């Protein structure tokens, strides 16, 4: 029999995996646009430096931070606290809002969704995780 805590961990793991896939897709999309604008990057090391410190990629940091937070939660030896999974799912939902009129993350996310079909598919996978009803107790 699966405990409620185990089900929450499974939901959180699925969310984490889909959010990480979305993050990777966004990074690749941004890299393509960056290289079209500034020229081919000379090395993976240079790209990593840019990803961490260049303002071009700064809008991606909130997703990186959320993935790390979910990882830390999943890696904890302690049982999940009541509502912890729900709170992380709510944070994800609030973050992944796109807006043509917005600025910062909302605007950059809107642009990525408009230009890259793979971003749309990865976004849909995350949204599916967020909308799936919590499994009933067995």
pLDDT digit string, tens, across residues 95-122: 999 999 988 999 999 999 999 999 999 9
| pLDDT: which is higher, 96 or 7 | 96
How far, in Å, CA of 17 to CA of 132, rounded?
Answer: 15
Q: How many other C-beta atoms lie within 10 A of the C-beta of residue 32?
A: 12
Structural contact between residues 66 and 91, judged by C-beta atoms closer than 8 angstroms: yes
Say what the pLDDT of residue 102 is.
87
Q: Which two tokens stand for residue 11?
A: 């939901």
- 3-state secondary structure (DSSP) of residue 32: helix
Q: What does the pLDDT average to over 48-53?
A: 96
The dihedral built from the CA positions of residue 9, 77, 90 and 62, taken in this order, carries a sign that is negative
Structural contact between residues 19 and 126, judged by C-beta atoms closer than 8 angstroms: yes
> pTM to 2 decimals?
0.91
Q: What does the pLDDT average to over 18-26?
A: 98
Say what the pLDDT of residue 137 is.
47
Say what the pLDDT of residue 138 is.
40
| pLDDT: which is higher, 69 or 102 | 69
Average pLDDT value over all residues in the chain: 92
């Amino acid at each position: 029999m699966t405990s409620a805590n185990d089900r929450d961990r499974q939901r959180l793991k699925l969310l984490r995996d889909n959010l990480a896939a979305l993050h990777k897709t966004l990074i690749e999309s941004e890299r393509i646009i960056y290289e079209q604008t500034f020229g081919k990057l000379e090395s993976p090391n240079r790209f990593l430096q840019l990803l961490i410190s260049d303002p071009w990629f700064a809008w991606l940091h909130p997703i990186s931070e959320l993935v790390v937070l979910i990882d830390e939660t999943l890696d904890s030896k302690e049982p999940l606290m009541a509502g912890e999974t729900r709170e992380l799912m709510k944070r994800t939902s609030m973050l992944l809002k796109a807006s043509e009129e917005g600025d910062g993350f909302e605007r950059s996310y809107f642009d990525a969704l408009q230009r890259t079909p793979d971003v749309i598919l990865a976004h849909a996978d995350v949204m599916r995780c967020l909308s799936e009803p919590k499994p009933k107790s067995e």
